[in-house]
Structure 1
Amino acid sequence: MQHHNDILQRYPEVLVSLRRPKCCRRVLRSKKGRLKKEKLCVKRLQSALFNAMDASRKVELFTCPLCRNVLKGPVTVECGHTFCYGCLAENCDVCVICDTEITANRCVNVLVQDLVDKWRDRNKIADNSIPNTTDILGIQPRYHLRSGFAGLQISDENTKSIRTMPNVVEKSTRKFTIAIRNAFKEAETIKDTAIKNCWNTITATDLECILCSRCIFDPITTACGHTFCKGCLTRVLDHGLSCPLCMASLSLKDYSRGTTVVLDQAIRFLLPKEYNERLLIDLKEAQMLNRNSDIPVFICTNAFPGVACPLYVYEPRYRLLVRRCLLSPTRRFAMAAKEDSGEKFVSYGTVLEVKDAVSLEDGSFILTTVGVRRFRVLSRGEQDGYDTAKIQVIKDTVVSSDKLPELITLHHKVYTKASKWITSLTPKVLAEVERLIGKMPRVEKNWLSLPDGPSWTWWLMPILPLSSQLQVVFLSTTNLEKRLRAIDKMLERMEIRMKSLERNTCPLSEDASDSCDSERTIEIPLNN
């Protein structure tokens, strides 16, 4: 029963109007009296129906929220709401709709002004008033419509249902609700058609983005009054803070401006076909990027499996990469260090997954990412300015059963030595390390079967004094025993170095820089 009462709850004025005439509760014996009652019921119902719809209209095209008239000198503020220039002058501090602070710099929304001027010229309206539903549909006592909207009328079938309502109300609320729902449904269709006819001067060409030449999607109006797709404008602002149309200086706040509500409503209502086509195009482009076997590559530093990698992203090409990554279902991209010679980036790296992202006002990002898996580059490419690659995930080779006891003993030895070295760090240094990459992981129960081995070995990589080239060697090797022996050798060198620093001497060489360079004592072949 709740389902059938939705209309009555939405438009209570209709039921109140129907119950006003006392004659509705009397049985009229004469045929003439019954016909008169039916006509009176139709008149009151249809009048209440359109008045109720007009009072609760969802689509009010290009109207000012303050004066409720068609916009005159439209100004779009930071939050995306649009007001008449004169109305906004009287309410200049905050937006009356969302309480967002409004700046003093106010330029007329060029696109909205052009559309409203075009509408006024066609309708030859001198003032800025907007007709209500009754004006548009031209409801008259005899229920004929004005010539401008001839043919837009409630069907005979629904009219017949309405005429029988006085008797139906007393017999069945359910039948009454069904009849009134059908009447409202048809009336809403009539109203929508009338409003579209009223604004049919606006065409798809009027609402094209000047940057992508497609229907504006998620329209954003800049401080200078020009409107673009949000995605198009963001990519422009990545490369410079100026309007692509008039070259006026823009600010960092233009990154975070809200969607222009009046244009978004108009596009969805007046151009549903074009809007859906643009939405479909964007979805297809996103799917193509997700289906693409190439993964975007962030060329920066070496990352490691299971280890946090905080990033501050400010370069234009990587801003685009991050935005697309955040829209993808996996939220992953590849991280690789820069190659000193030849290729742009090294052949081994780590796939990162975005756990948290903070978008700053200037369009940059602060990312919290974690390493997922190691990879080897198979081929390289490029997409919209940033690098891509086809990759192959790599994992450690399976250890034979005869070597397991030796590997377990070696693992326990190196882990104990590493834990001892970590605890020897000063509290300040240790706190900084844990702030950046977290605490040292415990040994997993299934560390022998993990594709990248125990996590603690990779946790050590960023804090050990290893060159970028040597870190890549660690990433490339698939032999856990070799990595453990290399870490053991490094820790021994660190211990010797710490003891020599305590004595203010370095016994390995007269050149302190050479003697303390532990990187030269470790060699891990790339071929496994």
Structure 2
Amino acid sequence: MDLLLCPCCRQILWDPVTVCCGHSFCRKCLHGPSPSKCLVCKQRLHLRGPRELKCNTLLCNLLDKCLDRETKLERITRDTQDLISQQEYEEARKLTSRGIGLAPEDIVLRTLRSQVYVALKQYPEALQDAELICISQPQNPELLEGLGCSVPSAIEDLMEEAFRYLKISSMDTPHVVVPMEATCMMPQSNSACMNLRSDTDEERTSSMAQPSEVAAKSSSSYNQEHQPDKGEINHKLEEEKLKCCQKSRPSLEELLSLSDVECSLCIRMFLDPVTTPCGHTFCKECLERCMDHQPYCPLCKQSLREYLRVGRYPATALLQDIMSSIFPLEMMDRNQVHLSEMAELSNLVHNVPIFICTMAFPGIPCPLHIFEPRYRLMMRRCLETGTKSFGMCLYESGKSFADYGCMLEILNLDYLPDGRSLVETIGRRRFRVVKRGQLDGYHTAEVEYLVDKVLEGEELQETERLHDMVYQQLEECFSQNQGSLPRRIFMQYNQPPPKEDNIQASPDGPSWCWWLLSILPLDPTYQLLILSLTSLKERLLHLKHILSMFLPTQS
């Protein structure tokens, strides 16, 4: 049971609340002057007030199964006394009603609730509890002593309301005590009670006609004992606590089953369980996939926009500890399944995620704005697997995407408050699609990476001369008059990459060729054709032809 202790009060958790760092505390421990930092990890907390704190429903259910009835009643009684001392009577009323729902026969809780009703000036309800106490334990004067005297200033009103209530209710309820005997429930001396119990009708009438005198006696008695039955209640609590400790409690392994720690979305054991501000718990990946579509809790539909904006989803530490302690083998299997799934997703040959959008080229930056749910999922998986890579292809009718594309590597990803993201990527290797597939809404492919043919001897020398010629054409385009069309096109970009001495240093050829291809206003299908070529010489011939069409405009 040590797992279920609150880090703040070191008692069994009660109404557990999971804060933004993932640690859980009793709800009442976060009331009043809330801590600015977590007592466990020292992370800064952002609590919006006690009324905003929602209990962790899953932990509440687990505690309900783990705690016996006596432990629950003991905690309810102790917390009720604390609330009464803090004059939080409405919260105390709710708590005592909750306890009486568990144990309708509990005299201590009914006594406390009667005091709370008096403090709230709900006198008929206070007398109802008092009547039940009289009926259940008519021979126990200690519990009746001082009943209903939590607020001294209300004694006189209580007497008047009591007489009125008993007069009306006695017409229909034969077992209700007569008005003068009911006043003996008030705290006063034995002599006062004897006077009230006079056998003559005149004395009864006289006492009923002067409730203020009785109230004055009651009030003075209250001043001597602020909480008359508190010592008795505390004594009984200690006895109950001792009895509970002596009992052999079943272990958590006997009380909980695997179904108690299953995600309601994937119906599997929790993996990295996170708790939303509304108090519901899901696997981290399951919640993220739901919020890809709409920023609402999957269960209660409360808005999670602020939760999404922060973008941090720490695991619920207590739930992690419970699972690792009670279900270690099952948790190990769950983690192993996840690792297998990640290994399959990280295979960048047989299972490449495909982003269908635009042309991408080796070594050329490709900024992206991610807003579709399927691509949000794709980006997260690319980061989680550690590959940080995916394929970019053009759309092609009848095939979903083209036969050739370019791998992109994620350099940076910035999340926007609504879940969208801005991604900085750069082109890497070219590939040819061998087989198409789908996974969780986005396309995948088995690919074959393209490599330029290796040149040797005379063919290499000829290609080098062609390379120098085309690069010279590119420089001429940059040197044209500022008003010319080629000049206006090229000057929108930075200077071209420098000419490379070794044209076969990269398996994709010189980088300036891809830079030129990316800035030229060409049809994407023509760009795709050049991208698919594995002959550097052929690519240079295409570029030479394109540049030659720009240069004559100068003459």
Query: TM-score if structure 1 supplies the norm length?
Result: 0.64
- Please name the residue that 2:7 is paired with: 65
SS of corresponding position for 2:466? helix
Are 1:312 and 2:369 matched, yes or no?
yes
Q: 1:221 aligns with which of 275, 278, 299?
A: 275
Mapped contact 2:362–2:426 kept (Cα < 8 A)? yes
Change (3 A) 1:109 1:424: farther
Q: 1:403 aligns with which of 455, 459, 463?
A: 459
Q: 1:197 aligns with which of 251, 275, 280?
A: 251
- Please name the residue that 1:276 is paired with: 332
Are 1:99 and 2:44 matched, yes or no?
yes
**Aligned-partner Cα distance in 2 for 1:124–1:88:** 21
Matched to 2:469, the amino acid is: K
Change (3 A) 1:224 1:125: closer
**Larger-Rg structure:** 2
Report 1:79-478 matches (<5 A). 79-92=21-34, 94-96=36-38, 97-104=42-49, 105-121=52-68, 124-128=71-75, 197=251, 200-254=254-308, 255-291=311-347, 293-339=350-396, 341-399=397-455, 401-422=457-478, 433-434=493-494, 440-448=496-504, 450-478=506-534
Change (3 A) 1:349 1:425: farther
Mapped contact 2:276–2:307 kept (Cα < 8 A)? no
Deviation at 1:402, TM superposition (A): 2.9
Deviation at 1:209, TM superposition (A): 0.8
**Aligned-partner Cα distance in 2 for 1:238–1:265:** 28
**Aligned-partner Cα distance in 2 for 1:418–1:379:** 38
Change (3 A) 1:197 1:463: same
Matched to 1:336, the amino acid is: C
- Structure 2 stretches of 5 or more lacking a match? 77-244
Matched to 1:313, the amino acid is: I
Matched to 1:242, the amino acid is: Y
SS of corresponding position for 1:378? strand
Change (3 A) 1:375 1:203: same
SS of corresponding position for 2:411? strand
Mapped contact 2:354–2:393 kept (Cα < 8 A)? yes
Aligned alpha-carbon RMSD (Å): 3.0
**Aligned-partner Cα distance in 2 for 1:128–1:199:** 23
- Structure 1 stretches of 5 or more lacking a match? 1-58, 130-145, 150-193, 501-528
**Aligned-partner Cα distance in 1 for 2:15–2:4:** 11
Query: TM-score if structure 2 supplies the norm length?
Result: 0.61
Bigger Cα displacement from structure 2, 261-270 vs 425-434: 425-434
Q: What percent identity do the matched residue pairs reach?
A: 38
**Aligned-partner Cα distance in 1 for 2:504–2:343:** 37
Mapped contact 1:122–1:201 kept (Cα < 8 A)? no
Mapped contact 1:253–1:362 kept (Cα < 8 A)? no
Deviations 1:497-521 (A, max 9, x none): 5x49xxxxxxxxxxxxxxxxxxxxx
Are 1:493 and 2:549 matched, yes or no?
yes
Deviations 1:239-272 (A, max 9, x none): 1122222233322524523222221222222222
**Aligned-partner Cα distance in 2 for 1:431–1:123:** 81
Mapped contact 2:434–2:448 kept (Cα < 8 A)? yes
SS of corresponding position for 1:308? coil
**Aligned-partner Cα distance in 1 for 2:491–2:253:** 64
**Aligned-partner Cα distance in 2 for 1:338–1:252:** 35
Mapped contact 1:418–1:491 kept (Cα < 8 A)? yes
Matched to 2:10, the amino acid is: R
Bigger Cα displacement from structure 2, 356-365 vs 95-104: 356-365
Deviation at 1:327, TM superposition (A): 2.7
SS of corresponding position for 1:355? strand
Change (3 A) 1:91 1:258: farther
Q: 2:536 aligns with which of 472, 480, 483?
A: 480
Mapped contact 1:71–1:128 kept (Cα < 8 A)? no
SS of corresponding position for 1:127? helix
Change (3 A) 1:258 1:280: same
SS of corresponding position for 1:61? helix
Mapped contact 1:256–1:361 kept (Cα < 8 A)? no
